[in-house]
Structure 1
Amino acid sequence: MRIVFFGTPDFAVPTLEKLLSEPDFEVVGVVSQPDTRRGRGNQVSPPPVKAAAIARNPDLKIWQPERLKKDKTILAELESLEADVFVVVAYGQILSKKILNMPKYGCINVHGSLLPKYRGAAPIQWAIANGESITGITTMQMDAGIDTGAMLLKAELEILPEDNTDTLSGKLANLGADLLVDTLRQLTTITPEPQDDTLSCYSPMIGREDWELDWKLEAIALHNRIRAFYPNCYTDFRGQRLKVTKTELISEGISESSNLEDVGKIDQILKGKGFVVQTGKGLLLVKEVQPAGKKLQSGWDFVNGMRIAIGESLS
């Protein structure tokens, strides 16, 4: 089976590597997003999929168009490959109808949720943020809509209480690689299942406005958002921005002594663990933080270093 692989971030790498290691598949080309400049030195850095492709096969053809559907030269090259299927995993650009129709068996997408739920750009993050206990991978026959194509195979995965977006993404990426191989091997015998649009919900891209913690929310909601938007959630403490990267639920009900004026205040100091914050409903133990300009540290080290006192406020 001749395959062109479309993908960009770390999430797509296990699927590409799986395809490259299977003797009955031939990856004849890779399409990824352009290199970017990042870091203090503003150095050019390739996307993870490109780096993985070069590491496995330096001679593999790689395209990195700014806008694929407008690049006639690359489109002609892709068409000339006469691929059996295009595999798409978090590529980052919308594919035109012309591209979708190029391969013999169309374009197969590996999506990080159990469709039709959580269509869109950030299914893993929003599943955690919304307190889901089960998620998974869906392989899908792509159409002109956003994650609206007919479903092929699914695999479920439990979301553990300690999972954040990084850990869950890694698990789902590996699960997706295996499911994609199963899908391709059964492609001519699978009966595609249309999605029920009434069961769908959209998972938009995460923005900076999602990162700021509102202590008036319930403890469980804050805990889930910190896991979902890891490592970017923040609050203010003593006039400085403080990232909160790991928490634990202490209670889900408002403590007897609390009132609305206590929301956002430090309620307890737990030796060896960190500090406890009163939320709109429940207490939340802060176990790991990152002060502005500093490295990650435990909540307990932060307590000692800043000499934190009970009753101080976060905002």
Structure 2
Amino acid sequence: MPDCDLGITAHSFDYIGKKTRFIPRLGWLGYHPSLLPRHRGRSSIEWAIRMKESVTGGTIFWLNAGIDRGDIAYQDWCWIPPEFHLSPQKSAVSLWRDTLLPMGLKLFETALNDILNGVIMRKPQDKRFSTFEPDTNVKDIYRPDLLMIGYENSHN
């Protein structure tokens, strides 16, 4: 990678290592389809739906050594329709395609315009509200104890 000012990544499942993270002068911005620090990890959209949450969103954040743990630059939110809870996998695809993907593009546009104007937003994530859920594309996700995560959270 040649010298550059900023790196960007969106909803990437690949970890960007230290050597690459330090190439851009300003660092890397990433887009994560959740309201970080909630739902860190690969399957953030599906977990928000499985946990019967009514709100989710997207976050532009500064990459660091942790997975989805960097400082927050920008966020926006959206509703999760109640009927989405009936089919989490299918609904996650729909929510990504129709709402969270376009939201990420708008958030990146805001971030990049601000950076071009010399404004760099950074706010540490509040660890008190952080969650990390496993990838839903593994066979263990359908273990009864993991399926109870959504049930327990909806009944507390």
TM-score by length of structure 1 reads: 0.41
How many residue pairs match? The answer is 139
Q: Which residue of 2 aligns with 1:177?
A: 105
Counterparts of 1:190 and 1:102 in 2: how far apart (Å)? Answer: 18
Instruction: Map residues 27-38 of structure 1 onto 2, 5 A cutoff.
Output: none
Q: Which residue of 1 aligns with 2:119?
A: 189
Q: Which of the two has greater strand per residue?
A: 1
Counterparts of 1:205 and 1:140 in 2: how far apart (Å)? Answer: 20
Tell me how large the CA RMSD over aligned residues is: 2.1
Q: Which residue of 2 aligns with 1:108?
A: 29
Deviates more, 1:203-212 or 1:106-115: 203-212
CA contact (8 A) 2:70 2:124 kept: yes
**Match for 1:209: what amino acid?**
D
Q: Following superposition, which runs of at least 4 residues in structure 1 exceed 6 angstroms of deviation?
A: none
Find 2:92's aligned residue among 155, 165, 168. 165
1:99 aligned to 2:20? Answer: yes
Counterparts of 1:130 and 1:113 in 2: how far apart (Å)? Answer: 13
Counterparts of 2:144 and 2:128 in 1: how far apart (Å)? Answer: 31
- What is the CA distance between 1:177 and its match in structure 2? 0.9
Q: Which residue of 2 aligns with 1:292?
A: none
Report which of the two structures shows the higher radius of gyration computed on alpha carbons. 1
Q: State the Cα deviation string for residues 273-295 of structure 1 (Å, max 9, x = none).
A: xxxxxxxxxxxxxxxxxxxxxxx
CA contact (8 A) 2:31 2:61 kept: yes
Find 1:152's aligned residue among 73, 85, 91. 73
**Match for 1:165: what amino acid?**
A
Counterparts of 1:201 and 1:213 in 2: how far apart (Å)? Answer: 20
Gap regions ≥5 residues in structure 1: 1-77, 225-315
1:203 aligned to 2:133? Answer: yes
Counterparts of 1:95 and 1:166 in 2: how far apart (Å)? Answer: 24
**Match for 2:130: what amino acid?**
S
Q: Which residue of 1 aligns with 2:57?
A: 136
Q: Which of the two has greater helix per residue?
A: 2
CA contact (8 A) 2:73 2:121 kept: yes
Counterparts of 1:198 and 1:213 in 2: how far apart (Å)? Answer: 27
Counterparts of 2:125 and 2:55 in 1: how far apart (Å)? Answer: 19
- State the structure with bigger RCO (CA 8 A, min sep 6), 1 or 2: 2
